[in-house]
Amino acid sequence: MQPGVETPSVANYIELVRVNSSRRINISLLTDAGVATDVDESVLPNGDPAGELSVEITTLMGEASIFTESYWPNPVPDTRRLKRAAPGNYYFTLGESNIAAGDNSQETANTGTFVGNWHARTDAISEDVYRTQVIEIVSPHVLALLPRLRLMLDKSLKVVVPSQQCYLGYTDGQLVLYLRSAVEYINSFQPYVQFQLEMFPSMTHGEILLQAAMYIALQSQLNFSIDTDVPSFSDSGHSFVLQHVQPISAYVSQLRTELENRIPKFKLHFVRSGTISVELKPDYAFAALMSAAPWGSVFKNMFVAR
């Protein structure tokens, strides 16, 4: 969280948490020069705090608050779940059990997406900064798919070091997002059957999910190639060419053609066979008798003329 710098309000990388576990969710406060700085824990003459730091964790739709707390001001500092780890670095542990704050063991009991909304002001004269973190709670079932997906994608070593602006490879969080996008891609096809990532039948049909995730991931890699390819470079007689767009584009087209053919057939395995029911109305027998009776027939207390 760096004031004075035009950065996205949503953190670029997700926090990945295994279901029924605990994990630290961190944030760092930086000055406009990029130096770590603490929240000013003093009180102004008018009684307002000089600095502020708070976080609220909500469900994806924001309809329920999972956890909310202010580091400063906090009337009972000993009960803080939001803690200071180092100068400018603060964290809380999602899924921990804290007797003073209540039992929070259910925070990570279910898979899904949480959103962490941070607010900070380091001192009285600095501007307020807001940042959102996306937190994915995933099951071991999903985590077990990551080595298989990475094996399919990363055939040569692609290093990813976000701190050094190196985005060649794939982090675990990125692979999970590719898998979620793959399920959404599969769900976009007819017939109507809809899947969820945690409930996807990967034991029997995992390969098609990984292939769809690979299609999504390579689309991202194609955009990266468009940005970074060098069609022609020459310096003092030394020249080289970096061209990844054409081969990746050809392979993405091949994958799309194959998936468009396979996915509808795959989903047909989960469509229930159609049924039809016939209900005979109580007057069915009488109606059949009436329609078969000749013109002018006389029934008890009834004369029929057609």
Give the pLDDT confidence of 266-297 residue by residue, as tens digits.
Answer: 999 998 776 677 666 667 777 777 778 777 77
Residue bearing tokens 């040569």: 156
- Rounded CA gap, 191 and 196, in Å? 15
| Span(s) in the chain for CATH 2.60.40.10 | 15-138
Strands 129-138 and 15-18, sheet pairing? parallel
Single-letter amino acid code for the residue at 128: D
Pick the CATH number of 15-138 from 1.10.760.10, 3.40.50.2000, 2.60.120.10, 2.60.40.10: 2.60.40.10
C-alpha to C-alpha distance for 220 and 268, rounded to whole angstroms: 29
Strands annotated E in the chain: 15-18, 23-28, 52-59, 65-72, 83-86, 89-94, 112-121, 129-138, 160-161, 166-167, 230-235, 238-242, 298-299, 302-303
The β-bridge partners of 26 are 91
Q: Assign residue 301 a region (left: φ > 0; alpha: ψ between -120 and 50; beta: otherwise).
A: left
How high is the mean pLDDT of the chain? 84
Q: What is the CA radius of gyration of the chain?
A: 31
pLDDT digits (tens, 9 = 90+) for 95-154: 875 444 455 557 888 899 999 999 998 888 888 888 899 999 999 999 999 999 999 988
CA distances from 123 to 39, 127, 145 (A): 6, 8, 45
pTM: 0.76
